[in-house]
Structure 1
Amino acid sequence: MTAAISNISKHQKWYYRRLNIKRIFTSSVGAMIGIGTIAYVSAITGVNFIMPPLGATCFIAFVIPDSAFARPRNIIGGHLVSSMIGIVCSYVFGLHWWTYALGVGVAIAAMQILRILHPPAAANPLLVMLEGGVPLDFLLAPVLIGSGTLSLVAALYNKLVTKHRYFRVVLHYVANISEDAGRDRLFKSR
């Protein structure tokens, strides 16, 4: 078996890596709790807060929480901007084969420009347009409330259960801003 593994290309070695059962279990349970919380809130309020791209968001938020894509700002902002672009495209241009492509392309560009990268959100314009166009309150429910709830659950779960420092990137960013502000004050006083 060792000889067979050594002949495998570098791109296939991931298949033979040791599985981390604890991580698989905790990330799966986290995703179930995240979607379950949204589904429960939907059930008791009678308002749908679930949308399919949130399933892919669970993967990022619970399996790779260190990723920049897993930041709450990126999750919420990416879903909001992409959904808004889908709504605008459907209202302005109608529902044609090319508006699907335009919506996704513009959403991807907007997320990059605004620095709120979240790959699952690129599906939101398609979701909006496949629904035949949706009203603007779609941005509140399910987009804002669904993505916000999932971000909150992911942050709490990753902090309390997996002991993952979910906001370490955010704290680092805030520390750099405060250093820059202090340096700016120092130069202004001269």
Structure 2
Amino acid sequence: MESRHRKEPLQSHPNPYLSGEPHPNPARPHLIQKPHKPRNFLARLPPWLSHWLGYRPPSPSSPPNPKRAEYIIWLWSWIGAFCGIAVIQAVFGQADYFVRRGVPNVVASYGASAVLIYGAIESPLAQPRALIGGHFIGALVGICITKLFELLPTEERYGQLEWLAGSLSCATAIVAMQMTDTTHPPGGATALLAATSTEIRHLGWYYLPIILLTSTLVLVVALIINNIQRRYPVFWITPPKVTLVEPNAAEPVGTAEAYGEMGLSVMEGREGEESNSNSMSQVRQGGEKRKEEKKGEMSETRVVVEEVV
């Protein structure tokens, strides 16, 4: 009778990590808590294509943004600005489709964009997200506010309040760019022109596709010219995260955002327990200690970049 009611021992799940039972080895919880970090999608493209999109494979011997002589930077900045503005004027000044619709040869705000896109290519204000998003948001805000003021009874009345329409357009566009993280200074001029330029105001909503096409042309030229001896863009959507790691250290000291030659902007320390200043001081202190232990050897802080697109 006792053997009939004897309970069989429960068999353990073949994979203890998938069962509802407690973790078999609580001393190693990192096996299931470590998140998966997706790889940069540009790394999956062929090298001949990803190079012109700003991707450089990580290599300790060749940094992604090598130092160039100043005359090389000046030369390619001149070539890039010349080609970029020339392409815009060739498209809108020679194509009958745009000429018949009274589209200006070039929107003046793109002269300021050329300074950033071809001359300050590592600035966060010059990256594709800021270029395209900033100009489009500026144009959208400018057209919307202008359309509201055009509801005034006469054109003369609009002329009297044109100063107000332009001021509202520029100020609102700046806030909209800040809210969407697409700050691009020439975008404020794009919004201002929509309210104050008669030639552009008559385009109406057609101003939006003109801005998108112009931004695309400027970006395509930048991808070609800026990637010959330099690197552009630094990022497409979000800036890359940079982890400062002490040599032979198990944990990173801090996390930063990289903007090429502009330097590192430290964002957070080890698990939020240490401030950014403490993290950077630990790197320096660790370097001094290693110099004392190993005479004649130079210890440097290793920078590990996690590509984020």
Change (3 A) 1:44 1:99: closer
Deviations 1:26-83 (A, max 9, x none): 2011100001111122234232462001011000001100011111121111111101
Q: 1:109 aligns with which of 175, 184, 189?
A: 175
The 5 Å alignment of 1:26-175 reads 26-46=76-96, 47=98, 48=103, 50-94=106-150, 95=158, 96=161, 97-132=163-198, 133-134=201-202, 135-141=204-210, 143-160=211-228, 163-170=229-236, 172=240, 175=307
Change (3 A) 1:140 1:172: same
Is the 2:128–2:233 contact (alpha carbons within 8 Å) kept by the matching residues of 1?
Answer: no
Partner of 1:20: 70
Whole-Å separation in 2 of the counterparts to 1:167 and 1:20: 19
Residue type matched to 1:159 in 2? N
**TM-score normalised by L of structure 1:** 0.74
Change (3 A) 1:175 1:29: closer
Whole-Å separation in 1 of the counterparts to 2:149 and 2:195: 11
Which structure dedicates a bigger proportion of its chain to helix? 1
SS in 1 for 2:240: helix
Residue type matched to 2:145 in 1? C
Task: Provide structure 2 residue ranges, at least 5 long, that are not aligned to the other structure.
Answer: 1-68, 151-157, 242-305
Residue type matched to 2:140 in 1? M
Residue type matched to 1:172 in 2? P
Which structure dedicates a bigger proportion of its chain to strand? 2
Is the 1:72–1:148 contact (alpha carbons within 8 Å) kept by the matching residues of 2?
Answer: no
Change (3 A) 1:103 1:25: same
Residue type matched to 2:171 in 1? G
Task: Provide structure 1 residue ranges, at least 5 long, that are not aligned to the other structure.
Answer: 1-18, 178-190
The 5 Å alignment of 1:176-187 reads 176=308
Offset, 1:176: 4.1
For the pair shown, the structure with the greater C-alpha radius of gyration is 2
Offset, 1:113: 0.3
Partner of 1:186: none
Change (3 A) 1:43 1:101: closer
**Share of identical aligned residues, percent?**
26
Offset, 1:138: 1.0
Is the 1:56–1:120 contact (alpha carbons within 8 Å) kept by the matching residues of 2?
Answer: yes
Is the 1:39–1:50 contact (alpha carbons within 8 Å) kept by the matching residues of 2?
Answer: yes
Is the 2:223–2:232 contact (alpha carbons within 8 Å) kept by the matching residues of 1?
Answer: yes
Whole-Å separation in 1 of the counterparts to 2:91 and 2:165: 33
Residue type matched to 2:131 in 1? I
Partner of 2:7: none
**Per chain length, whose mean CA-contact separation is higher, i.e. which structure has more relative contact order (CA < 8 Å, sep 6+)?**
1
Aligned CA RMSD, in angstroms, stands at 2.1
SS in 2 for 1:167: coil
